[in-house]
Structures are given as structure tokens and as C-alpha cells.
């Protein structure tokens, strides 16, 4: 039997997982000496490269001595926790990376909690020890305290610790050791990660944990073989979660070697392979022996906590910039996304709109960004939390929020969060002069808070949050205090007019931008919306003025990203997403209709 080790690399966002996997790939001799390889080679789609984050979990395999090590690189952002949950069931050990300066963060707790529940023993890697404010010993103590708080067993508490700088390609057992390479980490994986359980001679059982798609062979299930063997061309039974059974032949069996996928004829218990040939294969399905089909336990994925309504663009500029604009096209694209992304859900609402639910704004924002790049044009409403009802009590999701702020800004931030129903649970001074404050806050209270937070801390604050639990509904939460500057006409914005509007607030558009009646062109400096005319040019006369005209000096506009726009809007506003622009508009473009809707809402609230 081939000697196999299966590990997942888990950590908070930006603690160095993908960079560490780079180092393991290079130092295992996976790449040829002359081969040129990108940085963070596992982040292979455009948005991952641009943002420097991992969105989809990806697997690779390296050979070290006589061992094959299957490595799964997981996302570190809370919104992609669904990816991490299902991956952990497929491995026998985890590498937990913790930043030597930042220490334990919300997502560290989330991913480690999942690993401990599954009985996995962590190998702790204190990464980025070359940072000037690094405190490796403090971080090891934090990890130990966290494991105790998570009810880890004695074996899990005896975790090995390595110190590393993944970017420089070295790891060591003791801080005093000489820096060389990642050999200590390879040795730790071989020594501390258990071999896969299960027998190659038992009845076949494999479980799908990630889906892929190929235009030639259709859906591909990336699966871990728990028992038995899988051979190309043989017939197996696909067991679905609802008990349905279908038989099919394996048309393609693919193994992993570095970044390459290699067609193989056979794989056995303990290995991770990609399997094609089953049309309706899904995450959590079991591929079993046809003679004795035995299902494995289905995968549990936590429910979405946030939803956004996608709808067809019905504004004056609809169809002028996008290629796919109809409800049928939008529906097809969303259905395709749901096939491979099981942490999200979609339900049609009937009026050419669709309710998409996910784990957070970033996850839904990245879906919208991908659609936009593919030529889609659509509208998005304000994100709303998913409310549940348990025993007649309305329940809403709460988040664990951790913020690091300079001391002089902590009062402002605490005051703002207090208005959003946040409760402070701890405050700790950090070695770099900042203060770490932890809160428990309704997920609703975080919508729209990030941009305010960055302004209040002059861009120096860092905030992270992860899902905590559902709790009883806490009543209304304060949201945006400023109104909007709303265009009252259709046309092209003029510099002279924008120059005069600068005093009224912050502009989102620049001269020559297309605008229409009901489009939001800026944020008002005061509460309440203000209707303005950005098309008004200078009145010209045949009289000469004494002296030259003053030069028009415009402040650069605030360019909204998709996530910022989603956070900024209120219930009566929409984000218009096209391949070329992100605009904000009112739901009702006509001012009389807006006033009527506001009156009705006020009357409903009073009754």
C-alpha cells in the first residue's frame, strides 16, 4: 500500500497558508529546476490573485521520500467557512498557521473548532516570525488556551509547534535553530499526521467534498476514498443524501501531482482523486461498491446567514453595457453557481428577481463580481440577515467581532458599535501600540459598518468577524446617518455643476459620467436625501467678465467597489452592476413615487 498522508492547511485570512503551500511544493522537488512558477501558485483565479485571498479550497499532492502527501489549501475568510467545513472531513491532520504578531483571530477559532470536533490533531505553525513585533511564545500560549476552551482532548493538547517564515521558505523546531528550509515541517507531517484508516480490500466507499466541471466529461467529483479501490471503467453506485441510488461507470479517474492532474487507472483507500462519469454527482454523495452499497455519513454544512435579492436591470441605461441582461440568463448563471457552491442557496421570487443567500457580503459580492466580468448586468438590493423562528421566538445571527485600533480611536469605535447593539467582551493592549477589542454583535449591525470604521480610524483599524450563533432578535439597529444626493434629470454630468455640488457632500461620479433621474451621485453631508441637478452648465452671455474665470477644481470622487456599494445602500436603494460601471440608484426613480413609498412606510411603522 502506498504511504499516504492527508492534511489541510487552516488559518485566519492572510496568515500565510498559500505561501506555505508554495514553499512545500518547491522544496519537495515538485517543480523542475528551470520551471517558472507564480507566487501563491494555488490562487489561480483572477479575483484571488487581485485580492490576495483564497476563495476556493484546492488540493495538490507532493512526494516526500516514500510518502505521498495530499495537501488541501483552504480559504481563511469567514464567508467561505463552508469550504473549510467539508474539507476537514477528508483529511487526517491539520496544519494550523497562526501569525506571530496577530495571534489567534476569529477565523482561527472557527476552523480550529471544526478540526477539534472531528478529532483531528493540529500541527501548530507560528508563521511570520520575522515580523518586527512578533511574539511567538505569546501566540503558542494563546493557541493552547483556545484548545482548552474548545474542550480538546489530551492528545490534541500535546500539539507539536514549529516556527516559520513561509515567505523565506524555512521552518524550525526552536527559535534558536539556524534557518535552513522546510525539512522540519515535512518531518512533522510524516511523524504526527496519522495514516488513513480504512482498507483497500474492503467494500468501496468514497465521498465527494468538492465539485469541478469540464466541458468534455461534465461534472467531476473530487473525492476521498475511505475504503476499497476505484478503477477506471468499473461500475459503481452513487448514493445521494436523500437515499436515491444511481449506477454509472467511472469514465475518467484523475490523480494529483503538484499542480498537474494526471489520468490514472486505479486508486485505493486513503487517496484523494477526481472522478468523472456521474452526471448528478453532488457534494456529500457516496460512491460505493454496486454489490454492497454502504453510504457514508452525509456532510453537515452550516446554513447561510445573509441574503441579497438579484433582479433584472430596469433603469434608463439597461442593456447598454452588458451582454447578458434577461432574467433567464441571470437564473441560469445563478443555478450553475449553486451546483458547485453548496454554502449558497438561491430561490426565484417570481418577479424576475432571485433571492441569493450566503455566509456573508464578501461571498455574495464575489459571485456578483464574477458575473459582472462575464458580461452580466443586474440590480442588487441591500443585504438582509436570514431570520429564523424557533419555538415562536424570532432569532437572528450574531457575529464574534475582533477589532485592532490605535488607542486614540477606540472611544469613537466603541460608541459607534454601541449604537449597533454590540456588547464588548474583552479589551487587550497589543505590543504594537494598538488595542484589541472583542464584541458580540448582531450580523445586521455590521452591514455598512466597515467603511465608517475605516474613516473613523483613518485607515489604520483592522476588523475581523465570524459567525457565532443565532440569538433572539434585538430590535432595530442604527444604520447610515447621511442622506443621498439624487440626480433629478437624465444626461451627462457637467464639471461646472459638480463643482457647485461639492459643498453639499461627497460625490461618487466624475464629469462626463452618464446619469439619470433617481440615480445616486453622492453622499449628502446631512441626514435626508437631496435632489440635485448635475447637468446644469454655466450660463454664457455676450458680456466679458472682469478678469479670467476661476479654474474649476474638483475633488476626486469616491469610487465605490461592489462590496462598499452593497454596504452603503439603504432599503430604498439598489446597486446597478454592469461590466463597465457600478452605480447606486433609488428603487423608485420617480421622486413622487419615492415620497409616496416613504409615506406608506411611515404609516405602516406607526400602525
Known binding residue 491? Answer is no
Place of cell 446617518: 481
Q: What distance in Å separates the CA atoms of residue 305 and residue 469, rounded to the nearest whole number?
A: 10
Query: Could you give the C-alpha distances from 263 to 69, 253, 260, in angstroms and in order?
Result: 18, 6, 10
Place of cell 428603487: 587
For residue 525, what is the DSSP state?
A: S
371 Cα distance to chain centroid: 16
Q: What distance in Å separates the CA atoms of residue 59 and residue 281, rounded to the nearest whole number?
A: 19
Known binding residue 15? Answer is yes
Place of cell 467529483: 221
* DSSP assignment string, 86-122: HHHTT-SEEEEEEETTT-S-HHHHHHHHHHHHTTPPE
* DSSP assignment string, 161-172: EEEEEGGGTEEE
Query: Could you give the C-alpha distances from 435 to 102, 405, 418, in angstroms and in order?
Result: 12, 5, 17
Q: What distance in Å separates the CA atoms of residue 552 and residue 555, rounded to the nearest whole number?
A: 10
- Contact between 397 and 307 under an 8 Å Cβ cutoff? The reply is no
Known binding residue 114? Answer is no
Query: Could you give the C-alpha distances from 493 to 74, 410, 498, 517, 584, in angstroms and in order?
Result: 45, 40, 7, 12, 15
* DSSP assignment string, 413-458: HHHHHHHTT-EEEEEEE-TTSEEEEEEEEEHHHHTTHHHHHHHHTT
Known binding residue 18? Answer is yes
- Contact between 515 and 491 under an 8 Å Cβ cutoff? The reply is yes
Known binding residue 127? Answer is yes
Cα-Cα end-to-end distance for the chain: 73
Q: What distance in Å separates the CA atoms of residue 523 and residue 565, rounded to the nearest whole number?
A: 12
Q: How many residues does the chain have?
A: 607
Which distant-in-sequence residues (6+ apart) come within 8 Å of 83 by Cβ?
A: 56, 57, 74, 75, 210, 343
| Closest among 95, 107, 56 to 182, alpha carbons compared | 95
Known binding residue 375? Answer is no
Q: What nine digits make up the cell of 213?
A: 466541471
Q: What distance in Å separates the CA atoms of residue 223 and residue 253, rounded to the nearest whole number?
A: 11
Known binding residue 237? Answer is no
Provide, for the chain, the percentages of residues in helix, strand and coil under a 3-state DSSP scheme, each rounded to the nearest 5.
Answer: 25, 30, 40
| Closest among 428, 480, 423 to 455, alpha carbons compared | 480
Known binding residue 292? Answer is no
Place of cell 421570487: 349
145 Cα distance to chain centroid: 27
Known binding residue 309? Answer is no
* DSSP assignment string, 199-253: -TTS--EEEEEEEEEETTTEEEEEEEEEESEEETT-EEEEE-TTS-EEEEE--EE
Q: What distance in Å separates the CA atoms of residue 488 and residue 592, rounded to the nearest whole number?
A: 12
Identify the bridge partners of residue 73 per DSSP, sorted by sequence position.
9, 58
Known binding residue 550? Answer is no
Query: Could you give the C-alpha distances from 317 to 321, 382, 520, 587, in angstroms and in order?
Result: 8, 21, 14, 15
Q: Which residues are annotated binding-site positions?
A: 14-19, 127-130
Q: Which residues are annotated binding-site positions for GTP?
A: 14-19, 127-130
Amino acid at each position: 500500500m502506498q504511504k499516504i498522508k492527508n492534511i489541510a492547511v487552516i488559518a485566519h485570512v492572510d496568515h500565510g497558508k498559500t505561501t506555505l503551500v508554495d514553499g512545500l511544493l518547491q522544496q519537495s522537488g515538485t517543480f523542475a529546476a528551470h520551471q517558472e512558477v507564480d507566487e501563491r501558485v494555488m490562487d489561480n483565479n483572477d479575483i484571488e490573485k487581485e485580492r490576495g485571498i483564497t476563495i476556493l479550497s484546492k488540493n495538490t499532492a507532493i512526494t516526500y521520500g516514500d510518502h505521498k502527501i495530499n495537501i488541501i489549501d483552504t480559504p481563511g475568510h469567514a464567508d467561505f467557512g463552508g469550504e473549510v467545513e467539508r474539507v476537514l472531513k477528508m483529511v487526517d491532520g491539520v496544519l494550523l498557521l497562526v501569525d506571530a504578531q496577530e495571534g489567534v483571530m476569529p477565523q482561527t477559532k472557527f476552523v480550529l473548532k471544526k478540526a477539534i470536533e472531528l478529532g483531528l490533531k493540529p500541527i501548530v505553525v507560528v508563521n511570520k516570525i520575522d515580523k518586527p513585533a512578533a511574539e511567538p511564545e505569546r501566540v503558542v500560549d494563546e493557541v493552547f488556551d483556545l484548545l482548552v476552551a474548545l474542550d480538546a482532548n489530551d492528545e490534541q493538547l500535546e500539539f507539536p509547534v514549529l516556527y516559520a517564515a513561509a515567505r523565506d521558505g524555512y521552518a524550525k523546531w526552536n527559535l534558536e535553530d539556524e534557518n535552513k528550509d522546510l525539512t522540519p515541517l515535512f518531518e512533522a507531517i510524516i511523524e504526527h499526521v496519522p495514516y488513513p484508516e480504512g482498507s483497500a480490500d474492503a467494500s468501496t466507499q468514497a465521498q465527494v467534498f468538492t465539485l469541478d466541471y469540464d466541458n468534455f466529461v461534465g461534472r467531476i467529483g473530487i473525492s476521498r476514498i475511505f475504503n476499497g479501490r476505484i478503477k477506471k471503467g468499473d461500475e459503481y453506485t452513487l448514493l445521494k443524501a436523500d437515499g436515491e441510488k444511481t449506477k454509472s461507470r467511472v469514465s475518467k479517474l484523475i490523480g494529483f501531482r503538484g499542480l498537474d492532474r494526471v489520468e490514472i487507472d486505479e486508486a485505493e483507500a486513503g487517496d484523494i482523486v477526481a472522478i468523472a462519469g456521474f452526471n448528478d454527482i453532488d457534494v456529500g454523495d457516496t460512491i460505493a461498491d454496486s454489490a454492497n452499497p454502504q453510504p457514508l455519513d452525509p456532510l453537515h454544512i452550516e446554513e447561510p446567514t445573509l441574503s441579497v435579492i438579484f433582479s433584472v436591470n430596469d433603469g434608463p441605461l439597461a442593456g447598454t453595457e452588458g451582454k447578458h441582461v434577461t432574467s433567464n440568463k441571470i437564473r441560469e448563471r445563478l443555478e450553475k453557481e449553486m451546483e458547485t457552491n453548496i454554502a449558497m442557496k438561491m430561490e426565484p421570487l417570481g418577479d424576475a428577481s432571485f433571492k441569493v443567500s450566503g455566509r456573508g457580503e464578501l461571498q455574495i459580492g464575489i459571485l456578483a463580481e464574477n458575473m459582472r466580468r462575464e458580461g452580466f448586468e443586474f440590480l442588487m438590493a441591500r443585504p438582509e440577515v436570514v431570520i429564523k423562528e424557533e419555538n415562536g421566538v424570532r432569532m437572528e445571527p450574531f457575529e464574534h467581532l475582533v477589532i485592532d485600533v490605535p488607542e486614540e480611536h477606540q472611544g469613537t469605535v466603541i460608541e459607534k458599535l454601541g449604537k449597533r447593539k454590540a456588547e464588548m467582551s474583552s479589551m487587550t493592549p497589543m505590543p504594537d501600540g494598538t488595542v484589541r477589542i472583542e464584541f458580540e454583535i448582531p450580523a445586521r449591525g455590521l452591514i455598512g459598518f466597515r467603511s465608517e470604521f475605516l474613516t473613523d480610524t483613518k485607515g489604520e483599524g483592522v476588523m475581523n468577524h465570524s459567525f457565532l450563533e443565532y440569538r433572539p432578535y434585538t430590535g432595530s439597529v442604527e444604520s447610515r446617518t447621511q442622506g443621498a444626493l439624487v440626480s433629478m434629470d437624465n444626461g451627462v454630468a457637467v464639471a461646472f455643476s459638480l463643482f457647485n455640488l461639492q459643498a453639499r457632500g461627497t460625490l461618487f461620479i466624475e464629469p462626463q459620467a452618464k446619469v439619470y433621474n433617481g440615480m445616486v451621485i453622492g453622499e449628502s453631508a446631512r441626514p435626508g436625501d437631496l435632489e440635485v441637478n448635475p447637468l446644469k452648465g454655466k450660463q454664457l452671455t455676450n458680456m466679458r467678465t472682469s478678469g479670467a474665470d476661476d479654474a474649476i477644481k474638483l475633488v476626486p470622487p469616491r469610487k465605490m467597489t461592489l462590496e462598499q456599494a452593497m454596504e452603503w445602500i439603504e432599503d430604498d436603494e439598489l446597486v446597478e452592476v454592469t461590466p463597465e460601471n457600478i452605480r447606486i440608484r433609488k428603487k423608485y426613480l420617480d421622486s413622487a413615487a419615492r415620497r409616496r413609498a416613504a409615506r406608506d412606510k411611515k404609516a405602516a411603522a406607526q400602525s
